[in-house]
Structure 1
């Protein structure tokens, strides 16, 4: 992709700029009166989001992340599609689908009436994707950067045959320290504990993390809150088109074994994912569409103490 041409076609003066990012990937740098953000066109992935008056980035982005074709970027908002987790047909295809390792197309940029910046990215099926997943589709991701960060993933079936998908916005939230994190909104909710032989369990109270956590919460219909005590903030998550929430932290052993994480990175993030996963399978009929959305908003609980500016670019 030609950076100069992208700026000519889609740049917005003093607000939306295309730059060459890590690994030579095209990045979209947003800087408006409300917030700053960085989006990778590779993977269709928000790497950084920081409201103007917020001292810390919302997103965790690994300093050891890969910026290589065929590898996913560790951090931000990876898109899992058209399946979440292992290959559902056990054909040796990559976990979490294939769109997080493709270059997306830039479909449009705009400034909304209330001063937010909106970027729309898209993908359509190709011979390459059909060799992996034999269906025709049009995928659109609308990213709106303002006081909050809003994501909407729209799947369109462009064929005359029904297909089924699972999917997730696999968002990595940066936290001050995992020992001081509590997640609320899931009390009384059943979950599949993938870290304990996929046993079905019931959540009691808030979620705190002191070991590996890999859970699929079922029939979720409430807002979720991440209480990040060290950073003096709460992260409010509002989801649409989803009945599933996934909570994940790899803890020490898995983090140490990942080449794109530092050994102690598990202390600095938690994934709370808006998803259709497990038994929450979405049926998309011929020429029909489905929408999966998430809105992330930061609420401060302590005064600002320091500045922590995005480093993804």
Structure 2
């Protein structure tokens, strides 16, 4: 029985949920709800698209689907960075941002939430990369709730007999009218590592505006963030818990032009605001301990 038939047999009873298998053999979960549409990929275990029907354009940004390939990170929606953020701390040959976004995940549950949301649980499948590192005794699942609010929880459990440390992020790409005409509120006064300027420690003054390549890891912040978009006439609210870091990124034209799945134009319509535990904000879990990073995205009135 094909993967698609298995999912349809198990979860075909759920209203508003359908399944698709792409030419690249990626299984997609589509949600067409009276209040919202969304797409989730079992490749990478990530939300690819989310659009409340109150919005004329999607809230999440996506690269051209022609670039979505099995076994490669999909630049769209909310990729999962785990069990490390950025480069591996010691092995430079390991994949950037870990292996969770390179794995095929399993759908373990689909249900209707109390408020009418579509709730989906995904479990990361075993990975050959996991067997190479100290984290093969950890499990990872993501719990996604799709409604007018999009909620994503990343849940790590130490199933081994020794403490483990992880860094992680929900690497959200947001659709904006023009990167040069937005601002991000909520991080003024916070300290950050400037990834573009030799990892110098700096302090954010006022709201964030963009005039060039930006890569900042804000440390020790629990703050909610707001993307204020004058062109699209909306404010995207980002609420988080279990996260001590926030990462803000836009590659600008020179860096974007070197990326096959981004290119010289698309960077103008996206910004990443990532809820994370990165760099010094690593998470240590003792045996049987569990950690949950939760983010809620909504349109602020």
Distance across 1 between alignment mates of 2:231 and 2:38: 22
Match of 1:174 in 2: 175
- Count how many residue pairs are aligned between Structure 1 and Structure 2: 300
Match of 1:50 in 2: 51
CA contact (8 A) 2:158 2:285 kept: yes
CA shift in 2, pair 1:266/1:207, >3 Å: same
Match of 1:268 in 2: 269
Please state how far the C-alpha of 1:143 moved relative to its aligned partner.
0.6
TM-score (norm 2): 0.96
CA shift digits 1:171-228 (9 cap, x unpaired): 0001011111100000100011010011111101100011000000011122100001
TM-score (norm 1): 0.92
CA shift in 2, pair 1:276/1:65, >3 Å: farther
Unaligned runs of 5+ in 1: 301-313
Match of 2:223 in 1: 222
Distance across 2 between alignment mates of 1:127 and 1:224: 36
Distance across 1 between alignment mates of 2:65 and 2:265: 12
Match of 2:38 in 1: 37
Distance across 2 between alignment mates of 1:238 and 1:15: 26
Match of 1:310 in 2: none
Distance across 2 between alignment mates of 1:176 and 1:165: 35
CA contact (8 A) 1:72 1:101 kept: yes
Distance across 2 between alignment mates of 1:166 and 1:226: 24
| Secondary structure of 1:263's aligned partner | helix
Please state how far the C-alpha of 1:18 moved relative to its aligned partner.
1.2
Task: Indicate yes or no: 2:158 matched with 1:135.
Answer: no
CA shift in 2, pair 1:124/1:289, >3 Å: farther
Match of 2:17 in 1: 16
| Secondary structure of 1:264's aligned partner | helix
Distance across 2 between alignment mates of 1:173 and 1:15: 24
Distance across 1 between alignment mates of 2:267 and 2:66: 14
Match of 1:28 in 2: 29
Match of 2:95 in 1: 94
CA contact (8 A) 2:103 2:125 kept: no
Please state how far the C-alpha of 1:87 moved relative to its aligned partner.
1.0
| Secondary structure of 1:23's aligned partner | coil
Please state how far the C-alpha of 1:34 moved relative to its aligned partner.
2.0
Please state how far the C-alpha of 1:64 moved relative to its aligned partner.
6.2
Please state how far the C-alpha of 1:25 moved relative to its aligned partner.
0.7
Task: Indicate yes or no: 2:292 matched with 1:291.
Answer: yes
| Secondary structure of 1:260's aligned partner | coil
